[in-house]
Every structure is written in structure tokens, then in C-alpha cells.
């Protein structure tokens, strides 16, 4: 058995793990990263990146198909076609390029990558089954970055025509009908993409409305968009079973049957907190997640945990921030990060982004001032024929410090960095009002929402 000793052992090569390993290597720490599958984890290989590639394909196809039917701004074309197999191959090329890039970055940082399934013996050592035989690793410090996986439903186990999000991203033929069980952001992102490519999509949501994690004002434009592209939505409904191309759902005391060639189950994700020998470690739990403190330390000395295995929000950028911080802490640097400034983005069409507190959350803490500015009053949005949505700013009533920013509209995901920066730096409404935003851009709406909060909007 080959034996390796190192300063830092990272188990898991997703956004949390590979970023932690790269930063540790940059800081001169002798680092080993263990990953069983492709580098990049769920986000890069079967999540964030491939889903956004598919969303782009759907948007391009719908745009051309729309122009085939009706001229827009004097532009018309003919003959829109979609080859889903070719689109998936293009998507796979992007994934491969990025995963190869992660491997190159790890090599550049001097990180030793061990490909195989890790099994922890204790908080300092692990055995890894590799293609070349077993490897034993001994480390001074352990970082657990084992990620998460899709949740299956007892009535709808994955397999065959019942798909997880990963399965949906591997289809090479467009289903003529698709039932999406779960109206959260994953379900709606993929459901809307398939609807825009031509599938007949039905969404089944157990709650009172889709996107229950976002407030109704933000989600209203998305709900309208679902209707425009022909998506049928059943709320207060639960899936009870699937057979012979028919999904059975229950709403109250009645049952209904929905024809569906494929069923996509997006009932959430669960942490991988029990495999890889984690049961051998005496780790405190927070529900199904590994319990950590503000520095990502677990209940065992010398053992850190980062990413989805540590709880909500299960976001790649949160995982990356944790990974970078932990690497610097292990290297002896004092570090912390601002939990208030973690953007949440929903890549539906229109997109939704939120950073900080909602108006209701902020009002629960004290007096606020809040204002909305619509894209309908923005020149750039009008010239792009995409004027749905708004930007909303909420601030402390007395000091004017910005507490939360939300937006819904075309391309607003790209605002997430500016919104997060404003909250992280403690910006006030006056700071944003005094910041010159280029004209004509969509970003002017953030400026105008801040002005409106101050009672002096210029273009409304």
C-alpha cells in the first residue's frame, strides 16, 4: 500500500474542496485532494455549469423560433431547429474544459490529487481505493467537502423515465412531455428550459406557490413567464406514483393523472454526511448536516467541514468562500467572511437575485425605507425588448445603511456582485446615489431604486 503524509487532506473535489486545496497550495501547505469522480463536483459536472449551458441553448432556440413566427424590431428568420444531442455534446465540452482547467490549477498550486473513493479511518487519516491500488493518507488537518446529492421520493425512485437533475442534463432526445415534481429553483430552471425547447411541461409543487423560498413580489414575473411559455403549474399537490407514462398526483381529496414521457424529481438535495467513513468520526450534527462554527471548525479538533455538507444555503459560491477561508486559517492567517453578503440567484427567465434581507425581514428588526424601480422605465431594457421586473432596495430608516437588495428581470444575475459588494462594505443609500452608473445600462435601475428610497427618483 502506498503511503502519503501531508499537512492538509481535503476530501471532495467540488467548489468547496478544490478552492480550499488551491488556496492551501498557494500558501505553501503540503496538500492532498481526494476525489472519486471528475474534478469540479456536482456544480461543475452535473449542476450549475451544465444547467446554465442548457438554459442558454433553450433561450437561443426560443429566440430564433419566435423570430420565425413574428418579426421583432424588423428582424425575422426562418427554419429554427434543435438537435438536443448536439447541444448536450457542446455542454459536455464546456464541462470537460472547466474540469481540465481545475486540474491544471491544482497542479500549478502544487496540490497532489488522488483519484479514488476515500474512507476515513479517523480525523487524521484515510484509505483511498485508486485504479493503481490502495493508498493510505496521513494528515495533520482534515477538511471534509463531501457535498450533497439529489433527494429521491419513495413514490418516485430514480431510474428509467424518472430523472434526477443529473439525468435531465444527460438527455439526448427532447421529451414531448415532462412533469417536474418540485417547484423550487432547480425544478423551474430546468422546467422552463425544456418548455422553451418545445416540451410540454407540468410543474407539481406541494406548497401554495412555486419558488416558496422567495417572496411573492419577486416571483410574480416568473409566474407570468411560466404562463406565457405554456407551463402548467399545480400547487398544493403531491406526486403519488408513476406508471406507463402517467404521473398520479393528489390535491386535497382528489387525484389527477398527468401524461408525462419523463418525470423530473427536484425535491431538494441532502448532504453526504454519512458516507466515506464519516460515521467513524465523533462529529456533532446540525440536523442532517455537519455542525460547524463561524470558522468552519467541526466538533473534532483539527477537522473542518465546508460546502453543502455544512448546511444551507447550498450554494457553490458560499462553498468557495468557506474553502478559501479555511485554507488561510490552517496557514495561520486571521480570516472571517460576511454571511450577510451571500447572493442567491435563480436562473429562471426572468432571473431573480437576492442579497441580504427582504423588506419583511428587515422591518422585523426596526424601521426601514424600501423602494422599487421598474425596468419599464429603463432605456437599455426597452431597447432589448426585455423590460419585465424591477430592482428593490431596503435600508435602515435612520442611517440609510443598505440591508437588502433584490431584483427580478433579464440578466439580473450579473448584478449579484454589485449588490453583495454594497452590503459587504456597509454602503448607504447615499453611497449608491452618489455612484455614477453608466448610461444606458440596466445597472441604472439600482441607482434609481436607491434614489427613490431617498425620495428623489429622477426617471419615475
Give the torsion through C-alpha atoms of 239, 240, 243, 247, to 10 deg.
Answer: -30
Residue 187 assigned as binding residue: yes
Active-site residue, from 115, 234, 336, 439: 439
Residue 252 assigned as binding residue: no
Residue 300 assigned as binding residue: no
Q: Which of 347, 316, 295, 317 is nearest to 417 (CA)?
A: 317
Residue 147 assigned as binding residue: yes
Residue 315 assigned as binding residue: yes
What is the residue whose three cell numbers read 453526504? Answer: 272
Residue 54 assigned as binding residue: no
Residue 215 assigned as binding residue: no
CA-CA distance, 78 to 71, in Å (whole number)? Answer: 10
Residue 404 assigned as binding residue: no
Q: Which of 255, 351, 283, 333 is nearest to 144 (CA)?
A: 283
Other C-beta atoms closer than 10 Å to the C-beta of 127 total: 16
Residue 317 assigned as binding residue: yes
What separation, in Å, do the N-terminal and C-terminal C-alpha atoms of the chain show? 71
Give the torsion through C-alpha atoms of 185, 190, 192, 195, to 10 deg.
Answer: -160
Contacts of 345 (CB under 8 A, 6+ apart): 351, 352, 353, 354, 413, 416
CA angle (146, 123, 2) in 5-degree steps:
85
CA-CA distance, 108 to 194, in Å (whole number)? Answer: 39
Going by the DSSP 8-state scheme, the letter that residue 310 receives in this structure is: G
Residue 205 assigned as binding residue: yes
Residue 123 assigned as binding residue: no
CA-CA distance, 338 to 424, in Å (whole number)? Answer: 7
Check: CB of residue 428 under 8 Å from CB of residue 401. Answer: yes
Residue 268 assigned as binding residue: yes
Check: CB of residue 385 under 8 Å from CB of residue 74. Answer: no
Residue 115 assigned as binding residue: no
Contacts of 155 (CB under 8 A, 6+ apart): 239, 240, 241, 242
Residue 314 assigned as binding residue: yes
What is the residue whose three cell numbers read 488561510? Answer: 328
Is 439 an annotated catalytic residue? Answer: yes
* Binding region for NAD(+): 182-189, 205, 268
* Binding region for FAD: 52, 146-148, 308, 314-317
Annotated catalytic residues are 439
* Binding region: 52, 146-148, 182-189, 205, 268, 308, 314-317
Amino acid at each position: 500500500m502506498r503511503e502519503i503524509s501531508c499537512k492538509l487532506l481535503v476530501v471532495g473535489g467540488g467548489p468547496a474542496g478544490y478552492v480550499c486545496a488551491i488556496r492551501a497550495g498557494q500558501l505553501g501547505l503540503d496538500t492532498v485532494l481526494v476525489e472519486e469522480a471528475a474534478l469540479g463536483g456536482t456544480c461543475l459536472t452535473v449542476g450549475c455549469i451544465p444547467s446554465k449551458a442548457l438554459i442558454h441553448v433553450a433561450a437561443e432556440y426560443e429566440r430564433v423560433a419566435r423570430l420565425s413566427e413574428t418579426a421583432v424590431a424588423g428582424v425575422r428568420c426562418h427554419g429554427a431547429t434543435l438537435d438536443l444531442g448536439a447541444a448536450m455534446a457542446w455542454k459536455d465540452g464546456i464541462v470537460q474544459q472547466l474540469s481540465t482547467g481545475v486540474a491544471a490549477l491544482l497542479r500549478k498550486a502544487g496540490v497532489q490529487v488522488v483519484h479514488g473513493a476515500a474512507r476515513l479511518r479517523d480525523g487524521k487519516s484515510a484509505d483511498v481505493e485508486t485504479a493503481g491500488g490502495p493508498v493510505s493518507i496521513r494528515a495533520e488537518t482534515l477538511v471534509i467537502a463531501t457535498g450533497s446529492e439529489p433527494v429521491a421520493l419513495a413514490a418516485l425512485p430514480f431510474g428509467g423515465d424518472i430523472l434526477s437533475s443529473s439525468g435531465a442534463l444527460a438527455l439526448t432526445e427532447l421529451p414531448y412531455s415532462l412533469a417536474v415534481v418540485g417547484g423550487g429553483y432547480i425544478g423551474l430552471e430546468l422546467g422552463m428550459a425544456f418548455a422553451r425547447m418545445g416540451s410540454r411541461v407540468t410543474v407539481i409543487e406541494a406548497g401554495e406557490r412555486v419558488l416558496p423560498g422567495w417572496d411573492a413580489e419577486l416571483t410574480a414575473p416568473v409566474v407570468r413567464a411560466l404562463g406565457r411559455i405554456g407551463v402548467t403549474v399545480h400547487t398544493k399537490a403531491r406526486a403519488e406514483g408513476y406508471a406507463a407514462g402517467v404521473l398520479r398526483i393528489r390535491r386535497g381529496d382528489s387525484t389527477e393523472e398527468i401524461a408525462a414521457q419523463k418525470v423530473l424529481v427536484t425535491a431538494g438535495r441532502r448532504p453526504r454526511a454519512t458516507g466515506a467513513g464519516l460515521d467513524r468520526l465523533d462529529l456533532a450534527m446540525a440536523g442532517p448536516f455537519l455542525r460547524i462554527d463561524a470558522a468552519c471548525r467541526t466538533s473534532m479538533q483539527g477537522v473542518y467541514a465546508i460546502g453543502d455538507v455544512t448546511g444551507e444555503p447550498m450554494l457553490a459560491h458560499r462553498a468557495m468562500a468557506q474553502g478559501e477561508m479555511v485554507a488561510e486559517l490552517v496557514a495561520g492567517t486571521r480570516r472571517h467572511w460576511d454571511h450577510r453578503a451571500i447572493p442567491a440567484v435563480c436562473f429562471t427567465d426572468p432571473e431573480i437575485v437576492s442579497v441580504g434581507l427582504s423588506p419583511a425581514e428587515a422591518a422585523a428588526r426596526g424601521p426601514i425605507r424600501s423602494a422599487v424601480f421598474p425596468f419599464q422605465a429603463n432605456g437599455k431594457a426597452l431597447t432589448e425588448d426585455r423590460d419585465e421586473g424591477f430592482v428593490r432596495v431596503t435600508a435602515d430608516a435612520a442611517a440609510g445603511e443598505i440591508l437588502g437588495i433584490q431584483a427580478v428581470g433579464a440578466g439580473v444575475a450579473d448584478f449579484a456582485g454589485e449588490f453583495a459588494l454594497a452590503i459587504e462594505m456597509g454602503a448607504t443609500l447615499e453611497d449608491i446615489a452618489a455612484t455614477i452608473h453608466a448610461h444606458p445600462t440596466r445597472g441604472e435601475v439600482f441607482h434609481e431604486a436607491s434614489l427613490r428610497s431617498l425620495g428623489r427618483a429622477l426617471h419615475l
